[in-house]
Structure 1
Amino acid sequence: MALFLVSRTDRHDYDEYDAIVVRAGDESTALKIATNGEEERYGDHVYWDAAFSGFQRDGSNLRVEELVSEGPEGVVIKSFHAG
């Protein structure tokens, strides 16, 4: 398993994710984790409720990069965009 940084390639708004770090066996699995969600129904309207708001269901606004796990101690990622 490796760590992958999945980050947005487009602009983000308040209360949306712009990046996550996931543990996965490969880039494809990392992208699958990042685009997880459920189809929801409100009357006749069907919509995608993404696990990570702002991440497109098809991954079209995401980039996946494998992270090097070696290096000095310290913070790996900070991502804060409160509303």
Structure 2
Amino acid sequence: MRYLKDIPHQQLKIGLYQWNNKYIIKIESGLYEQTYKIDDYEVESADEIEKCMDEAFIRAVMQRFDEMHGDFFGSLQRNHVLF
């Protein structure tokens, strides 16, 4: 996987990569990460992908991180890993 660049954001770490004829957008927040892939022939350049990191998308990503956190910690508690 080839690192292309970081996409600046105040709360999230967003990295753009290229691998196997795909762009890979890796978004990290604390313990969690979300990955999105798009075929490189679907866009003209990596800059188009950066434009897609708009407010509505980021808001949805952050909501999903909250849901992931709830799911994970719920499982840890149900299975008596955390008390």
- What TM-score do the two structures reach when normalised by structure 2? 0.33
Question: Comparing both structures, which one devotes a greater share of its residues to helix?
Answer: 2
- What TM-score do the two structures reach when normalised by structure 1? 0.33
For the pair shown, the structure with the greater C-alpha radius of gyration is: 2
